[in-house]
Structures are given as C-alpha cells and as structure tokens.
Amino acid sequence: MRWQVPHLFALVVLFSAIAPELAAQRFAERQTLSQRRRAGVAYDQARSRMVMFGGAQNRGTTFVAGLRETWEWDAVSWTRRSGLAGEPNASDSTRGMVYDPVLGRVVLANFNGQLFEMLRWEGLRWQPINTASRPSFRQHYSVAYDELRRRIVLWGGSDPTGAQLDVWEYDGTNWNPVSAPGPTGRNDPTLAWDGVRGKIILFGGRTIGATPTPIAEMFDWDGSAWTRLTPATVPAARSQHSMTWDPLRRRVVMFGGGVGVPGTVLDDTWEWDGTNWVRVAPTTTPPGRCGHGATFHAGRGRVVITCGETSNDLLGDTWEWNGTNWSVATASESPALRSDHAMAYDNARGNSVLFGGRDHLGQSLGDTWIWDISRWTQVTPAAAPSSRLDHFMVSDLANSNVVLFGGLASGVAQNDTWLWNGTTWSPTSPASRPTARYGHSMAYDVGRGRVVLFGGSLPTAALLNDTWEWDGSNWQQVSTPSMPLGRTDHAMTYDSARSLVLLYGGRTSPSLYNQEIWSYDGTTWFNLTPTTGVQPGLRGNVGFVFDPRQNKSFVYGGQVSAASFVATVHDWNGSSWTAPFVGIPPAARGGHSMIWDGAARRTLIFGGESSGSLRRADTWTFSLNPQGTVGPPIDARRPDCGGGATPVLTGFGNPTVGNRSFALDFTAANPPTNASPVFYFLSLTRGTSSFGTCQLVVDPATLFFTAYRLQLNTLASLALPLPPSTSLFGASFYAQCMFVDPPSNLNGIGFSAGALVTIGDY
C-alpha cells in the first residue's frame, strides 16, 4: 500500500464523472457565523477546538432573539455543530461556560427560564449533568474555573428581588453554596483564574437599579473568603468585559467592556501580573465592545475574543492576542442583520453582490458584500452609492455589470444609477431616467438585452405603474397598452423558458397587498393571474426567482400585513401555481433578497425582517442538489478489532461544496498515549476484504487518499477542505481509520467503524 496525500483539489477530477443530480427540493442554511452578543465561549482541551453557544441578536439590557446554536472554531473558521433540536435554552450564558479538566468537557452553567441547568458538550451534542443541589435563579452572573481547588465558581448577578451575593461551587459532583462577606451586589462582573495568586479574581460589574453605574473594584476568592485588592494602577470602571488567564505568559488579559447600558464601549487591553495592572498599547486593536466571548486557545497559544456589542451594532469577528498585538483571526463572516437590501448575481464574475439595506436600528446601510458559492466576503470599493434601502439591483449581461437604481437614502427617494464592475461602483449620467422612487423592482430581459423596471413609490407615497428600460447607457420609458396597477414592494424575475419578464404581488395601497402575476414581452403587460386552483395569497416584500433547472419560477416568504409574515413556497409553471413539498423552510420573513446563483445552480436567500421588527442575518439556499452526509457509522468489524466501544468517524461540519473547514473526526476513548497515531483511508467503493479478523469498509483497490494524524486525547482530525465546484454534488466515498490499540489481537492495531461520505449542498 502506497502512502500519499494528493492535492485536495484533485477531488474535483476524481468525482466529477460519478456525481449524480438528485432531485430533492429543500432549503439549506449556509453556516455563516452571524453577529451576536453574550454568547458563551470556552476552549475544549480534549478536542482542541473553541466552542461557542448561544448569544442574542438584539442590543441593550433585555435578552431577546436568543440563538440556540453551537459552533466550533478550528483556528481557521467557525462551523455550526448542531441545529435547534436538543440545544440548551438560549439565555444569559456569556459568563456561564468553562472547560472542566476533571470532566474533560466544556460545561455550560445556564438558566432555562428560572430553572438552573448544567450541561457538558460531547462534541456532537449537549448532555445534561444532574446534581442534587443547584444555584438559585439569577441573571448577569459570572463563572470561572479554580484550577488549584478544581472547582467551578459562580458569583454575582441578580434576580427580581435584588442582588445575589452567595458563591456557588461545583466540585465535580454537586453545587455547594458558600456565604462570605465580600463585594457589593452587581450585574455583569467578570471572574477569571489567576495562576500567579492561585485564586479566582473579580473585577468590575455594574450596580443594580434603575440607573446602573460601572464599578472598578477588584477582589480575589480563595474558596472561603473574599479579599479586596488595591493595586497601584486600576483600569477604568466597566462591565461585560473579558478577563482571560494566559498560562504561557502567566498574565490575566482584560479587553474592552461597557460603561453604559448600552452606551460607550472600550477597546483597551490590560494585563494583570498578580500584583498590578499594566495597560498595553498594541499597534492593532479590535473594535471596542462589550458582551464578547473570550478564552485561551491552547492550540494557538493565544487569548481569543469573538463577537460582542458596540455602541450601536453587533459584531461577528474573531481576534487573537499574542502578548504584543491583536490580529484578526476570522473576520465577520456575513453581512449584518438587515432587510430591504438588494442583491444580484454577477454573471460576468460568477458571484453574487449585496448592497445596503436597513439594519436592526432602522438605519440605512452602505456596505458591499460578495457571495462566492459558499461564503461571504466584505469588499471596500473606491466608490459606492450612498447608504440606502428599498433600492434594486440586477445583472446586465450585455454590458457585464450589475445595475443599481433608486431607493431611500437618509429618507430621501433617489433616481441615481450605479454600475458594479466586480471591483468598484461607478455613477452614470444618463440623458433620461425614471423619477426618484423606492420599493420598485427590476429584471433583466435576456432575449432583448434590456433591464426592465416597473413601479415603486414616490416621495409622496403615491404608487407608480410606469415601465422603464435600461440599454446600458440610458433609461427609456415604454408606453404599454396595458399594465399592472401602481404598486410597491413587488417582485420581478425573467422566465427564460418562455422569454418573458414576470411580476408578482406587491402593495397597491398603504395596507392592501396583491397576488397578481403579470408578464411583459417588451411591448405590453399581460395579467396571467389564474382564477382557480392554488394561489400564493396576498403578499409583498416577497422573493421571486426563476429556476432554469426546473423551468419554473417560485415565490418564498413575504409580508401579508404590517406585522405579519409568511414562509410558504409556491411554484409557477407559466400558467398555474402549485405548492411543492420542500421540507422545513426558513423562518417567515419579508424584505429579504432572493436571487438565482448561477455558479452554484441554486437559489440564494439572505436576511429580511420577521415579526416584531426583528432583522435577520441568515443565509439560505434552495436547491435540487443532493444532501451532504457523513454516516451513519458502518461497523463491519469483528468484536476483537480493537478500541473497546466502537471508534467512529464523524464530520466536523457537513461535506458541502465550498465548505473549506470540513474535516473527518476520529473519536476513540482512552488512547494508549497522548499522541497515538491514526491512519485515514479513503476509497471510491466499499471494500469486501479483511485484515486479520476485521472487515474493511474501504476498498484497497480504489484508495485515492491516505493520511496520518495524531490522536490527541480522544480526538484525531483530518482536514478535507472541499472546493467550491458544483461538479462534486452527489459524489461519495468511503472512509475508515486504523489506529494503535495495544490490547488488540491484531499486533496492537484496531479499526474504526467506517463511514460513507456524500458531498452535497446541505
């Protein structure tokens, strides 16, 4: 057997000949870490990864829009590890997550409503830890691990009756209260382990009451008593800051925090050496924030912070501190929460571009983002339109650019035209142009090489029913014998199977939504609305896209009243509507962007608004592409194949096209050493041969990839970044591991269960 590690992009060639097209309509959430605050963060030493749970997508003191999500960071990118089912309750967990080396697990100390819950992260799921006693209900508390006494320590916060002053400690079996005089009651203090003093230290927080005030006091806790510390230099008062023990440099590192609720946030970095605080002056520093997560990443040997809240926004970035300077480890991975933005597929460059919209504060945005099949990247062009919302964008194939027109900028309707060339935005000066408007829609007529614009709202709120065409240099109004009623918040697409521009829905008065469907052939408009059969229903701010693989258009979501949204899907085949089965759709929304992603051969959806004026930052695709899966485990071994409980392969993330952080994780308990060798085998077909008394799941004759990794603690991991090539859809291969297992009868060698890996779009 020849050991080799071919270039991973060879997978494209190996699989392209066997990748089937599997017809199965469904939505898939693309796993991009959205901005959040108060998420729990801890480093999982057993699995060499940073774990994040929860967080909120609102600002201020009230914890709403909580996220029941678990993510892991492998020092390259964030990967979603589980969905909504079976997650802990999403609550004030920022300060409630630590790594317990006795359990060998990340532990979450959390409140589900007013009931305390404790869970440990097993790498695939959260497992409850039952204890005879538990801390009394509180919010805005802090947790740290006492490495000397091997205890989890919880203190601070408040309940509706006031401050909670008791200390609770978890000794590996039970939670025990300790009453001792000490700090005054406060919310959002920060606890951290101080390895120099061998104690838990406390700094900051904010007073409890109608006008909370930040605190600058410092204490330490030795397991029985609090001691007030009065160092010569003290950082400014703050709360929701981070303090992290750096065991390599033997310092506690503090970053940021807030001095209002919400209000000013800090971007200062301090270090505590056990005697005094020293402010350091890095040349690069993260944006100021509070409510961020922080931990020491032993694999990187650095303090890591992520997410948090600024004075007016939420963050989704990740930064590392090396003792001298901060550096970006992972930039914000998706556009911020928004609705009423515009997005278009850029045919000339094979990616999608997004611009502007309305953020969670209702303010207009002016940022530009690119989606390249699998991930978002923010770009900073030399020129750009003013911040705006309710504008529209479409790709102009004949002129190899993306056209943007109109919208609301600072509350003023616009009639400017901008072109995107893949690098920057350029304003145009056409001889004629539509009147200033917002809430209009556009589509590109491929057969005629024209951008078609219809309707929208004037600054007076009057609704328009005019038709305009853009030829690449000028706008021209088209007089048509018939036309839809004036409207706004409608949607348009181009039906290439029938060579027609289609228009659907919209709002024809301040409160009247519409369900008409119209076609435009370059001369006039035709009302195609059926009088019988299935109807999508009245809606505006809806997504409407033509799918060339099915030769159908479909609508998803939309607004049906001022505060009501839907999540249904309907297909249009040119003459009638159907309601296809699509599994579980994304949450109901309106004001989202929805386009056909020609490079990925699927529909792309981003953001929008849901009930309660909740803006969204989630990215979804809707496709016929096969589902990406790993497993279930194929255990073709004999009882004496080693490893005790069956060692298995699982996926770190899903094997989806463009997932650059996909990996195969080998998990086996009790390795013989801290760095036991593990050999990975990947084959195109399933094997039928044996190795001693063990059957092989992989086929030695079709092995195309072999690799060697070390099992650290219970985990070995093989990175398999998947290229963003749609030729991989549906390709599959078998994987199995051979590992050192001294008790085995096969000369100290064991085999894992195998796995069938299918590359897909979910």
β-pair partners for 44:
49
Average pLDDT over residues 388-416: 97
Contact 261, 213 (CB under 8 A): no
What is the Cα–Cα distance from 492 to 507, expressed in whole angstroms?
14
Token reading at 7: 């270039």
Q: Is the pLDDT of residue 12 over 60?
A: no
Token reading at 194: 């101080």
pLDDT at position 20, please? 44
pLDDT at position 115, please? 85
If DSSP codes are grouped into helix, strand and coil, which group holds residue 86?
A: coil
For 436-445, what is each residue's pLDDT tens digit? 999 999 999 9
pLDDT at position 640, please? 60
Cis preceding-peptide flag for 177 (omega within 30 of 0) = no
Contact 452, 392 (CB under 8 A): no
For 610-669, what is each residue's pLDDT tens digit? 988 888 888 999 988 888 899 888 876 666 676 566 788 989 888 988 888 899 999 887
Select the more confidently predicted residue: 674 or 555: 555
Judge residue 523's burial from the number of C-beta atoms within 10 Å of its C-beta, 0-12 exposed, 13-18 middle, 19 or more buried. exposed
Phi, psi of 331 (to 5 degrees): -70, 165
pLDDT at position 65, please? 65
Half-sphere CA count of 192, side-chain side, radius 13 A: 30
Q: Whole-number mean pLDDT of the chain?
A: 90
Nearest 10 degrees: CA dihedral of 422, 424, 425, 426?
-110
What is the Cα–Cα distance from 390 to 410, expressed in whole angstroms?
12
What is the Cα–Cα distance from 135 to 742, expressed in whole angstroms?
44
Q: Which of 485, 555, 493, 559 is nearest to 520 (CA)?
A: 493
Select the more confidently predicted residue: 74 or 281: 281
Rounded to 5°, the CA angle 26-659-355 comes to: 75
Provide the pLDDT confidence category of residue 758 given band limits of 50, 70 and 90.
very high
Ranges 179-193, 599-613, 640-654: which has the least confidence: 640-654
Rg (CA), the chain: 29
Which string of b and e fits 133-159 if b means at least 16 CB within 10 Å? Answer: ebbebbbbbbbbbbeeeebbbbbbbbe
Contact 46, 299 (CB under 8 A): no
Q: Is the pLDDT of residue 305 over 50?
A: yes
The DSSP line for 624-690 is SSPPPEE-S-B----TTSSSSS--EEEEES--BTT-TT-EEEEE-SS-SSTEEEEEEEEESSB---E
Pairing label, strands 199-203, 190-194: antiparallel
Q: Per this entry, what is the length of the chain?
A: 762
Q: Is the pLDDT of residue 554 over 90?
A: yes
Provide the pLDDT confidence category of residue 18 given band limits of 50, 70 and 90.
very low
Q: Is the pLDDT of residue 754 over 80?
A: yes
Contact 413, 437 (CB under 8 A): yes
Helix then strand then coil, % of the chain, to nearest 5: 0, 50, 50
Token reading at 88: 């802990």
pLDDT > 90: what percent of the chain?
A: 67
Provide the pLDDT confidence category of residue 9 given band limits of 50, 70 and 90.
very low
Pairing label, strands 715-719, 732-740: unpaired
CB atoms within 10 A of CB 276: 12
Q: Which residue has the tokens 């969670």?
A: 360
Query: Ramachandran region of residue 45, left (φ > 0), alpha (ψ -120 to 50) or beta?
Result: alpha
What is the Cα–Cα distance from 710 to 707, expressed in whole angstroms?
10
pLDDT at position 92, please? 60
pLDDT at position 59, please? 73
Half-sphere CA count of 657, side-chain side, radius 13 A: 26
If DSSP codes are grouped into helix, strand and coil, which group holds residue 501?
A: strand
Average pLDDT over residues 292-307: 96
Amino acid at 11: L
pLDDT at position 93, please? 60
Q: Is the pLDDT of residue 2 over 80?
A: no
Phi, psi of 473 (to 5 degrees): -140, -20
What is the Cα–Cα distance from 156 to 239, expressed in whole angstroms?
12
What is the Cα–Cα distance from 238 to 193, expressed in whole angstroms?
19
pLDDT at position 415, please? 97
Token reading at 19: 């990748």
Select the more confidently predicted residue: 76 or 350: 350
β-pair partners for 427:
418
Token reading at 676: 């036991």
Cα separation of the two ends of the chain: 34
pLDDT at position 740, please? 85
Q: Which residue has the tokens 């700090």?
A: 183
pLDDT at position 26, please? 81
Average pLDDT over residues 539-560: 96
Q: Which of 342, 154, 145 is nearest to 247 (CA)?
A: 145
pLDDT at position 89, please? 79
pLDDT at position 743, please? 75
pLDDT at position 4, please? 37
Token reading at 716: 């070995």
Select the more confidently predicted residue: 29 or 283: 283
The DSSP line for 320-369 is EE-SS-EEEEE---SPPSBBS-EEEEETTTTEEEEEEEE-TTS-EEEEEE
Average pLDDT over residues 536-563: 95
Contact 100, 144 (CB under 8 A): no
pLDDT at position 1, please? 29
Which string of b and e fits 674-692 if b means at least 16 CB within 10 Å? Answer: eebebbbbbbbebbeeeee
Rounded to 5°, the CA angle 173-174-180 comes to: 135
What is the Cα–Cα distance from 713 to 190, expressed in whole angstroms?
30
What is the Cα–Cα distance from 572 to 516, expressed in whole angstroms?
12
Contact 227, 220 (CB under 8 A): yes
Token reading at 660: 């650059």
Residue 1: partners with Cβ closer than 8 Å, 6 or more residues away: 700, 703, 706
pLDDT > 70: what percent of the chain?
A: 93
Q: Is the pLDDT of residue 310 over 70?
A: yes
What is the Cα–Cα distance from 712 to 678, expressed in whole angstroms?
10
Contact 624, 25 (CB under 8 A): yes
